[in-house]
Every structure is written in C-alpha cells, then in structure tokens.
Structure 1
C-alpha cells in the first residue's frame, strides 16, 4: 500500500512476514505475518511501516558510533564504570547524533503516505522498537526498549526514532542481554511506525492463548483496563480479567466465557492536550471502575482472534489488543510467542502445600503456583534497588524492566498494583518465583524486614501470611501412569484450583462442591438476594449493596458468579464428566452467609435436619434452589459445558426424589433432555435398601462415606469422644456398599464414591475395586498414588480370574 519493497530503509508492514525478521525485527515481522496471513480471517491490525535494521546500522556507521559503544561496554565489562553510567553515555551518543539524510527522507516519505491513507496531515502513530532478538520463542525481550505513543508530525516522528535507537542501551536492556548471552552489537534495532488506535477513549490490554499460571491450553486469558495499554503492561492498574474456553469457540450459539472479574482500574492513560507530553495519567470515574471494559461479544471476538493467531503460529501466544473509542472497533497491536508455560515439561507436576493453617494478612492475584518465605525488603523506586538483600521478598508498588536485575535475586515478589499480564507477573513466571500482585496496600501494611510467607498455591488468589510457615514441595511424574478399568476422578471445591490439576491422568470430576463457590465467592444467602427489599438486617443490606455493585438484578449476581465457578471446574476436565453436587449446607452454615439468619430455622441437630434434597422443594428454600438451577442451565446450555452432571445430596425417601425431579423440570432441567443426567448421593441407609427404586429415578449413585458411616453406625461424625469408633471400613459399611453396587449394576446404573476414605486408606480403595465400583473420586494430591495402587489391584484380580478359568 505504501513504502516500496525497493526502499532500503522502510517497508510497509503489509509487505513483510516472518522471513524478514533479520531485516525488521521480531515485532514488525510478526505484525506483517499476521497482516498477510490473517487479514482474510477478519483480524484487524493498524496500518504502518517498518524502519529496517539497515537504517540502524547505517546510522551507527555514518555517525561513527560502533567503536564508542564498544569502548563503554568494555569499560563496563571490566568494572571500570557502572551499568548506569555506561548506559547513560551510550544513550547520549544516539541522542546527539542526527539521522542520516537518506534515512530521514525515506521515513518522511513513508509517513506522508500513511497520512494520505488515513486522510490527515499529521496521523498519530505509535513508535515502537523491534529488535532482532526480541519476541523470539526462547527470549522474552518484550519491554526492554522504549515505545512512544501519540506521536504526530514528521519532526516528532524522527525524534522518537532516535530515542528508540537510544533505548536499545537502557540499563535494563544491557542487563537483560548480558544475562541471555546476546552480543550487544549483534542485536540490531528496527522501528515500527503504526497508526494509533484511540484506546485512550475506550480500553486495551493483553491476552494469552494459554493460561499463563497453570499452562492449561484450553483457556484464553484476556486482561484489560480503560485507556492506552501501557498501564496494563506496566502493572500500573489492577485490570479486568476474562477467561474463555477455547474448544467451544467455534460454536456461534454458545458463549464460552467461564470467568469475568472486575478490576479496580483506578486510572487510565490518555492523550495529553496542550502539554509537552504525548500522554498523561488521569483518574477513572466511579462508573468506569464499576464497569467491565468489554461486552461479551467483544470478549468472544478477541478470544476467537487469539485462537486463530495461535493456530497460525502453531504455539501459545502473548498478544496485545486495543479498542478504538471513536469507531468501536477492536484491533491487534502485536503478538509474540508465550515463553514460560509453552516450554515447561508436560511430564512433571510440581505441587506446593502449606502445612499450617493461618489467616492471611493480605491477598492479591497469585502468579506462579509456588510458596516462598523470607524477610520483607521494601523498595520504593528503582533508584533504591542497590539496597535489596538477596533472598528477601521484594515488596514495591509496581515494577518495570529496570527492576529485572533485583527481581532475579528475590525469593518472591509482592506489588500494590498490576494484573496477571503486568511486568512483575511476566518476569516472575520467567524466573520461576512466586508473586502476589495487585494487593493494593502491601507497601503500607508490610514492614521492612518483617518475616512473611507468600503462597500462590491456593488458586487464583495469592495469600500473604505473617511469619515463616512450614510448607511441602513435591514433584510427581506423570509418565508411565498405568490405565485402570476403574475410573479415577477428582474431588474439587475451588474453581480457582481446578486448572492446577488439568495435567493429571484422570477421568473427570466425581464431586464438585457447589457450597464452596457460594461460601467463598458469592458469600450471600440466595434468599437475601431474592428478597433484598424485605431484608431486616441493615448491616447485611449494606454489605450486599456493595458486593453486588454492577448488577441491576441482585439475583443475577448469584446466578452469574455460581455459573462462572461451576464453568471453570467443568472446563478443567471437559469433555470428561463433572458431577456437580447441588448445595448441601446445613441450616447453621446457611445462616452464616450474609443475610442468612432471617431465612434459616434454628435446629438442635442440623446434620440430620433441613438439608440436601428436603430444601429444594420446600417453600422455605425453593426460590434459592431455582437460582442454583439457573446457574446449572447457563453452564450447560449457554456456555456449552454439557459435561456437567447434577447430583442430589441427602435424598431420604422416594417421594422426595420425585419432588426434586419435578422442581428440576419446572426450572427447565428435565432429566434426559439435552443429555442431562441426574445422580443421587448414597449417604442414608434408605438409598441402599431402595437402590432398585432410586435407580428408576436417577442415572447413577455416588457414595458419601462420611454420612453413610454416621447413619449406619449411629455415630456423630463430629464427636471427638466417638472418633475412635468412626471407621468407614467397618464390615457393616462394606456390606452396604457391596449391596448397593450389586443392585445398581443389575439396574444398569453406575456407582462411584466421593468420600475421603479411599484417599486415606489404601486397603479401602482395594476393597472398592474388588466390590466392582465404577469410579473412585479422590483429592488431587492423592490421585496418582491411589491410581497406581488400583492398577496393581486390578492386575491381581485379572490374574486370579485367569487362574480360575484355566482351572
């Protein structure tokens, strides 16, 4: 379109591709590649041109800079001058050297053509570096050189180009190349000149085509904030987060968004007006802070683009995007290979676990599923990094590439601001150290030299604890794990933790606990949302008002958050079955939810009271159960995760089963429709005695050993005085289980178990296999060990069967 290929110093982005990387650097080559290969897919990229590395080399040659640069680098290598001084002197060389006339002429002509294309005299552009060693699969050079935004007019463009050349020798860039083993003079710099997207009037951010924390490759993570994207990249704000499930993106009728998290987004970067600066920071409005930056349709469009870009490159990608506030259009600004999770070995699963239970003193977003301990080293600015003590926990407001040398010496990192795609998060992943970002107040609450523990091993939320806590680190090899006839499944409560276990060779989730989502994420009693206006507890009313900001319909808050929590769990094992147990709080536990006391009776023995199935059809909770049903329906039919199976807990009588199924149908969850299966927990003796009849109403059974043992042996499961008598391996329990399995199989129904017993007692797991159990659901940390043991048991039984047949 402009800048001919015969030009020595400039090339149109539309005329280059990855083969031109030595000429135009990684960033420009990638932009050109996408423009050529993905334009027909509808992916929009702002037009522009590249200034070739020949321009950089000729600039050095004409101005006799190479020998001077070598002199300062040698002095640095011999410790005759500091890094700071060497960088400053080299940058000064560039800033005082004019661009050669031939280079100026080509840049001027190319910029004039870009102006004509956009029908303006002074098109506003971004001027970005594109180094020949930048954005390669094995080296994350992103952010090592400077970018200049909202540059307009040829004079300012030429000045920004010289500044770009100088930024090749920032302190951080010199340090990074030294660490990576790149020759400073072999790395040449190209520059990209690209039309600005007016995201200062809308939003922008970063997305990954892989979950950057767990490496789960079926998830696309999108982060963003209001204004220009530098705030997200640099970690200046806590952005919004969206997660999209890739395998369902090609079905237009579905909306596979499994998570939407509102960030605080306290400020935004916009165009500066009537100042010497191109951009400036302003505070966001209360409405902006309470609003998500993207509509669902825009989230899905970006996710589809990320999927296409990943497919084209054949590897996970790190992508910058922007929305134009003038036109409402979305654009891709750049794409580079993801450099951390994509290089991790798939055959090893590292896990960390705290051995003590404590209340965190601070929380934020977790980065890197690890734990670290140490003393706080509070650093306010990069000028103070020489005060850092090796092995300490770096605590600061935010980081940028200048901080890399000190970050390498830290045991862990804590920041006030930033999201999962900010600089601190990206570098900590590369370095393999845990970070808790976006705490908002770490620099205020943590004291210099205070001993702390930071845990990123408990899901999406990172926790900071006072003191040095004991923890355990383990590595599990996932290679050579034998297959078993018995299906091995997982017990999962936390949606945030579900993605941590995607690598495990299991057959789905046998128990997803809905009550964890309600208690830890939603926090509000469903009926307090249904009857908010009638709520008498004013304190609870204020809390609910604050928590549900952004939701006009308070019931929608419950449905939306519950659906997202279930969806994350279901996505982690799709298309394997995920059995979601409907809420099974006791009345005292329901009462502890915000606004709950007004709606719950006081019971002497909640364990045997108004719980499980009895609530679902009762006028006292029926409206709350309807919200649970809406969430399940949304997950299965709107998001598209139809691997979700419903499970009904504590169903005492056949009449109760019939009433629950009727209520499900009233809420448009008809058993058998759209492949919907409904299981029942086997935890009361009547479930065993009437197994044949329950089989006519449900598609399968899941044994809850705790309640079944309690009711068969007549022992309060919470009684310390009777703890020595409570044993799931008692003969009476085993006979119950054998009888259930036999009857269910005669009726064509499957039986699984989701209690703790198989994890705790290997001999009990062996018994279950011998009894013919179809599936065993385990805590994730014991799944591999128990699976190996079950494989041995199955092999022994097979050998015995062969011997019997031979006889």
Structure 2
C-alpha cells in the first residue's frame, strides 16, 4: 500500500485515521454498497501521512502551534489575524516531491486514457463526518479541477483550508487539538451534474426529526448552490415503510424556483473552474427528477442508512451526459440524531402583526429582535449579540458571526442550506428563501420571526407578544379513551407525530384545497370551457408542469393526505371529504362560475348532497381518485374516509354508490367509511346509519346549532351556543349508545372536551371510543380525559364497595334468619 495515496477500492471505515472521515465513508460505500447497485464515483485519497510529511519537510508544526496558542479563546478577537498568518505559511510551503509523484501517478491511473480528466478535490479531516461533529462546510472543496499542476495546487489549498477562521473556531468549540487533526484529500471522478442536477438527502426529516421519511432536495447544476443555500431547490419526501413494501413511497413534493445553476466555466472568464448562470425558464419550472429517479435515490439512501445504522446526510449528483445518478458523499446526521422528543415547546402569538415577508421555516419558534442587515463579512462588526441577522445568503465563513444572532433570515436557500443547518445546530429559528428580506426589512428595524404555521415562516413588523408552553411528554397520562388530532395543515404532521395522539380523528380536506390547491375542482374539470381571461390564465400558470389540469388537483390533494397518513402510520387517519359551503367554494379560483348564491349556505348545498349531484359529481370523482392514489398506490391504508352532513339514509346510500362508481368501495382493501353525526336525523335514525357505515364521528358544532336552531355564524345568537345544553347532550348520549349497540366505533370532534372538564367526564361516562383535539388543545384534552376516567374508576370502586357491604349484610341477615328458623 502506498504511503501517500490509497485508491477508493482499498479503503474502508477502519481507514479513518489514514484518510479522514469523508474519504473513509466514500471508500466504505464504494466497496460495500456498490454491489447493491449504488453508484459511487471512483477516486483515491491523498493520505493524512502526506499532510504530516508536508508539515515535517516544511518545518511548520511548531510554528503553527505557537501561532494558534496566541488565540484569545474568550473573545477570539485576534482569530482572523492568526488564521491568516497560518494560511500564509501553508500557501508558501511546498509539497514534498515524493508526495507529488504519488498524487500524479494516482491521477493518471484514475484518468486512464483521458487527458486532463476533471476531478472533484475535497478536504477530509480525521475529525470529520463523525456522529457528533460533522465538520460539514468547514474545509474547502474544489470542483472541475483539470490537469496535474492544478490538482497539486488544489491539494495544497485543501491544506490551507484547515486553517480557515471557521475551521479553527469549530475545533475550539468542539474541543479538538489543532495539530492532532490530520487532513486527507479526496480526489474523485467529477460527475457532470453541471449538465444535470445535484443536491442533498437526509434519511430523517431535517426540520422535525421524523425518522420514517427520506428527504431529497436538489437543483439544476452542481450541488454547491444547494449546499450553500444560493438557490431555492425542489423538495421530495419519500415514506420508508411503504417504499420497502414496493409501493410508491413518494408522498410529497414542493417545486423550488431554481433561478440559478452552477456550471463549468469552459472559457475561464470567471477566473474559477465553475460559474453561476441563470436557469432557462423551461428548466426552472420543471422538476429536476422523475418519480422513478426520486424513488431510486430513496432506496439507495435507505440502504446507506441501514449500512451505517444511523440517520445520514448524503450528497448526490446526476450526470447530465450519461443520465446516471451517483452518491457523492455520506456522513452521519448530527442534529436530530442527538435529540430526544421527551419535551416539546409550543409557541403562540398573542396578537396579529403585519407580515413583511415569508419563507421556509426552520425551527418551530417565535423570536423578536433588532434586524441587522449584513451584505458581507466586512460588515460583521454591525451585528450585536441578540440581533436577528438578515442576509442574502450565508456560508461557513459566517459561522462565528451567526453565533451572536438569535435568528437568521435570508433571501436565498432551502431547508438544507448552510443557514438552515447552522440554525438547527444552534437551536435558533430561521426563515430562508424569502426572496426579498434584505429589500423589505430595514436595518435596525424591530421585527418578529414567527415559525408556527407549518413549513412557512413569517417575518412580522414590530415586537409581537407571544407565549411559550413547555410540555414534558413523558408525564402526559395514558388514557383508555383514544386521543386523536383534528388537523387542517399537513405541513405540521411530522412535527405533531411526536405528540401523544394515537392518530387523526378529523383531517379536513377543504382546508387542503383552500390552502394548497386554491382552484375550484370543476374549473379544472371544465378548463377548456372556461371563458378566456385572467381566471383561465391564472389556472394555466398554477397547473404548469402537470400532464393535465385534473392531475394537478389529484396529485396535490393526494400528497397532502399522504403526508399526514405517513406521519401517524400505522394509526388511523380519518379524512373528511370536502365540506365547503357554497360561499366558500365560490372564493376558490374559478369558483364563481360553479356555485349558486344561497341565503344560508350553512344548511344549503354542502357535504353529502354535493357528491352525487351533477353540478359537483366530477369534482367528487377527483377527491375519490386522490384517496385511491394514497391508499392503493402509496400503500397508506390507514386512511379512512368520512362523509359529512349526510341528511338521510337514502342520501347515504347514494353517496356510497357514487364512491363505488369512482373505484372507492367500502371494505375493499380494508377501506372503512365513517359518517359525521351532526344532524338530529343522524341520531334519530342512528341504527339505520350504523348498518351502512363503519363508524360515527360526532360533529358537536353542527349538532349543537341544528339542535338549538341557531346559526353559529351569527353574532346575535352566539350566546345561546352551548354544547352542554341538555338537548345536545341527550342526543350525543343516544348516538354513543346506538354505536355501542351496533358494534361500531364512535368519536367526537370539537373544542368542548378540552375547554370543559365536565364535558369530557360526560363523554367518558357514556363510553365514547375517541375524542379529537386541535394541536393546541391536545395536552389539556388528555388531562381532562384522564381526570374523567379517574373519577369514573373511583365511582365504580365505590359502587363495588357498596355492593360488597350490602352483600355481606345480606349474608349476615340470612345466616341469622337461618339460625332462628
């Protein structure tokens, strides 16, 4: 084995002391995972021994140590000066001849007959890519390096990068001895992703820590733009359990703008081997990967995670010339893999604020502070401890600066960008990819960063009051009555999966349509018949990139449902089919062409009555198609369907027949169909409804308003709205009794069980199977259930003791009587 270079095919993880963490991992994958079909570009490692020899022959070790010892470890005020002196020493030194010879020979062997083979030259430290310290981005990499002299120079520049300000500070922060950390260099065949695409993969959701998904992100061109956060990338989530079953595990995707891409600079005009150019419109609006390619990467990622036995952070690239996909790097994920979810923090704004800009939310937190706009490190002195840093983009050179900030807001970047990764490591909130933060936020302005609404974060004007509640999940009691969620925002599903809910009792389809799809389903079905004008143009723009207008609806809806179903798998997710009122449907894009004007939409053309009516029938067909996609294609059979506002038994039969005509048949592939109990007729004829459905869900809001004959949207009579009214509770008790008699499940969705402990006690006493809560009410709701169940047990124990006492007295009396007879 050569002392100064080792080919990848002779490297395994055990070689980490000789070749550093990155190269050890590459060699391990090249040797152990290539047989599984995982493509890893070939290459070789310039060993740590080469670096040691370089220091020795240039007599640098003692001088470097003396310089590093002068750093003020408290203030780090002289770090830039000391680091610059170290880099000058390394730059002015010379590679030993024997090291140069071995590197050139290894390069020629890798290149075979190709002159000036382009290679990627990457630093690989011995303290790098460890489960507790990744060193990601601390040292430099060089892309599209061609020719022997350029390669030797790139290797030496990797040595120089070991003494970047950020790398020195990282070693100080993590307790590594500067001179004990060795540097190897990886020289790897350059995948032509400049002509294709590249990005980053996490085998765990990087935002929530949800472990059952593969998160894939990427953009056109070389992957550096994605890693640095210079571009807003495409995002894909793949569900591991159904992927392993051979199903289509691609459960969600989001298209990024991808305005720029990094490519080779063949002209040399930029002075660098690579340059950034604008992405053509036809590419920026297209997905970077096909579905089969996404699934292939996901399968490879699962194999890599299985091999390393820890969540992984992976870089990938697609060669645009050969169309082959490669794994370029893999390292342990170091943020969520070190955490537990025993304690959760819930943030809530006390007031509304004016939204200045929005972007991707990193960290579910709220924080206020002074905005400090930083354009470059030359302005670093402006940032004070406790400021909110606002920038176009950040990079690893900013690491020491970022530690002063309480939050980060950037124009560019995605969830795997540098700013996002640093924010997670520091435990602070960030909003990335706003597009315009540095333009719309004023330097010195007081702002609030609010990351409480799913994937989207909001920068608000002023210091907005908020509250934070800490909950120790280990202390939340177990209950016999099943606690479930009421959900409207699928983007919160992964985060909420850590909470003690046993599934979802109500997933509101209409909220998904309103927040994500935005277009009236019938306007998509009948797009060609729409009049020419702004509405039709808007729909055309929104559905660009889809094979058809209806595919846009089905795919968007299916992926939103699937995200929730995956988060709580294998527990049940009860999906309520659309329950918009006509006035709400009319507000969707194109809705004005299809919705009648009603005096009281609350009791008009809504729920079940729409599904079989010719005016909405094709739209309901799209809803059914989306559910079929989730259950049959994606394999998420934990999704159940629920029919709202079903007025009569005859209507129930029509709806079930209509569903079956669209391929959604009750009982097929285990499909269960529930019905909402929210109309007095549902209770009065509960025994008949029970013969048609697998379960009931009491909608206490509608049942209350229809029992008391009031419009809950009316302020005038709102004071009469009361779920505890005896007329309402009698109907609820009757519904529960009817479900028990029929042997089907029954739950309740509503706010009352968390607001009123006595209402929870009433439901528990009636024997209800489940109660569903909004996320902010879940913990309080579980506590109310637990107290109610404790009271019931105490009451039952009292009855048992009473019966035992009475029984003993009866026996005594009987014995006395027997004795006297």
The verdict on a shared fold, with TM-score over 0.5 as the criterion, is yes
Instruction: Compute the displacement of 1:177 (Å).
Output: 1.8
SS at match of 2:70: helix
Matched residue, 2:259: 266
Instruction: Give 2:576's aligned residue.
Output: 581
Structure 1 CA distance for aligned equivalents of residues 597 and 154 of structure 2:
71
In 1, the alpha carbon distance for the partners of 2:76 and 2:739 equals 81
- Aligned partners of 1:759 and 1:779 also within 8 Å: no
Cα-to-partner distance string for 1:705-764 (whole Å, 9 max, x where unaligned): 110000001121122222222110111111101111111111111110011211221211
Q: Shift in Å at residue 71 of structure 1?
A: 3.2
Change (3 A) 1:658 1:358: farther
Alignment of 1:762-777 (within 5 A): 762-777=757-772
**Number of the residue aligned with 2:391:** 396
Corresponding residue to 1:190 among 181, 184, 189: 184
Residue pair 1:53, 1:189 contacting (<8 A) in 2 also: yes
Partner of 2:474: 479
Kindly state the Cα deviation for residue 675 of structure 1 after the two structures are TM-superposed: 0.7
- 1:285-684 aligned at under 5 Å gives the runs 285-536=280-531, 538-684=533-679
- Cα displacement (A) at 1:781: 2.3
Where in structure 1 do 4 or more consecutive aligned residues deviate above 4 Å?
78-81
Aligned equivalent of 1:89: 85
Cα separation, 1, equivalents of 2:181 and 2:250: 41
Q: List per-residue Cα deviations over 1:72-109 (Å, max 9, x = no partner).
A: 22333388983222222211211211100111111112
CA distance in structure 2 between the aligned counterparts of 1:756 and 1:734, rounded to whole angstroms: 15
- Secondary structure (helix, strand or coil) at the match of 2:474 reads coil
Equivalent residues of 2:314, 2:327 under 8 A apart: yes
1:180 aligned onto 2:174: yes
Shift of 1:359: 4.9
Deviations 1:28-65 (A, max 9, x none): 11112222322222111111111111111110010011
- 1:529-550 deviations in Å (ceiling 9; x for gaps): 1112222372222221221121
Q: Which residue of 1 aligns with 2:687?
A: 692
**In structure 2, C-alpha distance between the alignment counterparts of 1:377 and 1:151, rounded to whole Å:** 38
After superposition, give the CA deviation of every residue in 1:176-210 in whole Å (9 maximum; x if it has no partner): 22222222112111111111111111110001000
Matches of 2:346 and 2:334, distance apart in 1:
21
In 2, Cα distance between equivalents of 1:219 and 1:758: 33
CA drift at 1:668: 0.2
Q: C-alpha deviations, 1:573-623, integer Å up to 9, x for none?
A: 011010000111111111111111111000100101110111111111111
Aligned equivalents of 2:407, 2:72: Cα separation in 1: 29
Q: Answer whether contact 1:645 1:677 (CA < 8 A) is retained.
A: yes
The answer (yes or no) to whether the contact 2:52–2:182 under 8 Å persists in 1 is yes
SS in 1 for 2:136: coil
Is the aligned partner of 1:167 residue 2:161? yes
* Greater Rg by CA: 2
Q: Is the 8 A contact 2:8 2:26 kept in 1?
A: yes
Matching residue of 1:3: none
- The 3-state SS of whatever aligns with 2:122 is strand
Counterpart in the other structure of 2:143? 149
Structure 2 residue aligned with 1:780: 775
Q: Secondary structure at the match of 1:76?
A: coil
Q: For residue 799 of structure 1, report the CA deviation from its aligned partner.
A: 4.1
Q: Tell me how far apart the structure 2 counterparts of residues 15 and 791 of structure 1 sit (CA, whole Å).
A: 60
1:121 aligns with 2:135: no
Give me the whole-angstrom Cα distance separating, in 2, the residues matched to 1:267 and 1:657: 53
SS class of match (2:208): coil
Deviation at 1:512, TM superposition (A): 0.3
Question: SS in structure 1 opposite 2:471?
Answer: strand
Could you say what secondary structure the match of 2:100 adopts? helix
Spell out, residue by residue over 1:6-37, the C-alpha distance to the aligned partner (whole angstroms, 9 max, x if none). 21111122222222212111101111222232
Shift of 1:805: 4.3
- Higher mean C-alpha deviation, range 443-452 or range 158-167: 443-452
Instruction: Structure 2: give runs of 5+ residues left out of the alignment.
Output: 804-821
In 1, Cα distance between the equivalents of 2:28 and 2:783? Answer: 47
Aligned partner of 1:242 in structure 2 is 236
Q: Does structure 2 conserve the Cα–Cα contact (< 8 Å) formed by 1:75 and 1:81? A: no
Which residue pairs with 1:109 in the alignment? 105
Is the 8 Å Cα contact of residues 261 and 279 (structure 2) preserved in structure 1?
Answer: yes
CA distance in 2, matches of 1:684, 1:431: 51
Give the 3 Å change call, closer, same or farther, for CA 80–129 of structure 1 in structure 2: closer
- Matches of 1:668 and 1:508, distance apart in 2: 25
Q: Is the 8 A contact 2:215 2:236 kept in 1?
A: yes
Distance 1:77 1:25 in 2: 28
Is 299-308 or 545-554 further displaced after alignment?
Answer: 545-554
**Residue 367 (structure 1) shift:** 0.6
CA contact (8 A) 2:753 2:784 kept: no
SS where residue 664 of structure 1 aligns? helix
Counterparts of 2:565 and 2:421, CA distance in 1: 27
Cα deviation for residue 800 of structure 1 reads: 3.4
Higher mean displacement: 9-18 or 792-801: 792-801
Name the stretch that deviates more: 531-540 or 299-308.
531-540
Q: Tell me the distance in 2 between the aligned counterparts of 1:365 and 1:768.
A: 40
Cα distance in 2 between the residues matched to 1:12 and 1:700: 63
Deviation (angstroms), 1:349: 1.5
Aligned to 1:48: 43
User: Does the 8 Å CA contact 2:228/2:394 hold for their aligned counterparts?
Assistant: yes
Q: Which moved more, 1:782-791 or 1:238-247?
A: 782-791
Equivalent in the alignment of 1:255: 248
What SS does structure 2 have at the residue aligned with 1:216?
Answer: coil
CA distance in 1, matches of 2:526, 2:351: 40
Is the 1:537–1:595 contact (alpha carbons within 8 Å) kept by the matching residues of 2?
A: no
Asked if 1:99 corresponds to 2:92, the answer is: no
Report the more deviating stretch, 64-73 or 653-662: 64-73
Rate the CA distance shift 1:496–1:18 in 2: closer, same or farther, 3 A.
same
User: What whole-Å deviation, never above 9, does each CA across 1:250-298 have from its counterpart, x for those lacking one?
Assistant: 122x211111111000111111113142111111100111100001011
Unpaired segments of 5 or more residues in structure 1? 1-5
Deviation at 1:232, TM superposition (A): 0.2
Instruction: Give the secondary-structure state (helix, strand or coil) at the position aligned to 1:138.
Output: coil
Q: Which stretch has the larger CA shift, 7-16 or 401-410?
A: 7-16
Paired with 1:489 and 1:357, the residues of 2 have a C-alpha distance of: 28
* Alpha-carbon contact 1:150-1:279 (below 8 Å) kept: yes
Give deviations 1:404-451, integer Å, cap 9, x for gaps.
111111111110110100100000100011110001111111111111
Return the offset for 1:140: 2.7
Distance 1:274 1:519 in 2: 49
CA contact (8 A) 1:229 1:322 kept: yes
CA distance in 2, matches of 1:612, 1:314: 48
Give aligned pairs, total.
799
* Helix, strand or coil at the partner of 1:635: helix
